[in-house]
Amino acid sequence: MEMEQLYKDHSDRVYSYIYLLVRHKEFAEDLTQETFYKAYKGLNTFNKQASTATWLLKIARNVTYDYFRRKRVIQFFSFDKVQDLESNALSPEGRFEQKEQLARMYDSLRKLKKDYQEVLLLRKIQECSIKETAYILGWTEAKVKMKMTRALVALKKEFHQEGGRANGTIKRIR
């Protein structure tokens, strides 16, 4: 496996995962580079127990948590800017309302326990499978399923307390 091709194939996904955790462009770029450096160093020990993408996301998670420990930063999802999803077909009022609902959903997500944030991020935002999520987090598949169910319930509850309409935006994250 050539490292240059590995980087081309997976750097965007690794960067977006790290960025969602640190919410700072330069830190995310540095941590992405560190992830690929560690992957390069550990390439000969990669036993193909998981897909290459899953293996890289696990390295990215470990690199990011090392960064948090070094900086004593224990903060997830400080979503200052919310991207407009599927907004081209909506009216300006519809886009504004959608953006408001999405901002509330991310605020609600940020208030959840760390385990819930992680499982939602990997399963629903990064679209990892249960098996991939279990591998990345070092959990059993049963634990991923249980945490996912509880996380969605907690997210709906928190979102409702934030004043959001739980029907539309929460379903979209599923």
For every residue of the chain, DSSP letters joined together read --HHHHHHHHHHHHHHHHHHHH--HHHHHHHHHHHHHHHHHHGGG---SS-HHHHHHHHHHHHHHHHHHHHT-------SS----S-TTS-HHHHHHHHHHHHHHHHHHHTS-HHHHHHHIIIIIS---HHHHHHHHT--HHHHHHHHHHHHHHHHHHHHHTT--TTHHHHHH-
Last residue of one domain, picked from the residues 22, 41, 71: 71
Instruction: Examine the fold and report which residue of 42, 71, 100 is the final residue of a domain before the chain moves on.
Output: 71
**Into how many domains does the chain fold?**
2
Residue 86 lies in a domain: no
pTM: 0.60
**One domain, residues 113 and 152:** yes
Q: One digit per residue, pLDDT tens: the chain, 174 residues?
A: 688 999 999 999 999 999 888 888 999 999 999 999 999 999 888 888 889 999 999 999 999 988 887 765 444 444 433 343 334 445 677 667 666 777 777 788 888 998 999 898 888 888 889 999 999 999 999 999 999 999 989 988 888 886 655 544 554 454
Residue 63 structural domain: 3-71
Residues 99 and 54 in one domain: no
Residue 18 lies in a domain: yes
